[in-house]
Amino acid sequence: RWLDEALRLIARLTDGPLVVIGSSMGGWIALHVALRRPHRVRGLIGIAPAPVFTEWGYSDEDKLKLVAEGRIEQDNPYGGEPQLTTRGFWESGEANRLMHGPIDLGVPTRLIHGPGDPDVPWERSIALADHIRSDDVQTVLVKDGDHRLSRPQDIALILHAIEDVSTPA
């Protein structure tokens, strides 16, 4: 359902080639979009992408509670309301995992991650790069980068990556 909505928005709001960009779980969505619209996608940027987010960040107790109660709430490290995970969201994540085999993208791909990321292990970007079948995949580790990669120098790096994958070879 979430992917269908994303594809409907892309069809309604855009024309021509696309560079799909996603941060964290948005990286998971961007991968799915690229796989389902290969004729439209010129490049992919993943910022601390989380294509298999159900593999980390949840204890066995959390998983049991999801099954039993249908939801869990966790502290939100970014403030505000607790972070809610529902059983439906979890099941969607499990059903749409991408790192169980080759990912046939065939487009320039840039994965940018900070080893200081407390939310998505940076090793996930390295593993993801290994799964992506494209002749042009680069993984950039920003030594002092966090999950958001939102400092001016991080934004400059992301903009350079967008320019890089947008330029026809």
Residue 132 has phi, psi (to 5 degrees) of -75, 125
Q: Give the integer Cα–Cα distance in Å for 106 and 144.
A: 30
Q: What is the DSSP string of 98-120?
A: -TTS-B---S-EEEEE-TT-SSS
Residue 153, Cβ density class (10 Å: 0-12 exposed, 13-18 middle, ≥19 buried): exposed
Q: Which of 23, 32, 117, 154 is catalytic?
A: 117
Residue 32 has phi, psi (to 5 degrees) of -65, -40
Instruction: Kindly state the helix (H) or strand (E) to which residue 43 belongs, with its residue range.
Output: strand 41-47
Q: Which of 24, 32, 125, 154 is catalytic?
A: 24
Q: Say whether 117 is catalytic.
A: yes
Q: Say whether 23 is catalytic.
A: no
Q: Say whether 147 is catalytic.
A: yes
Active site residues: 24, 117, 147
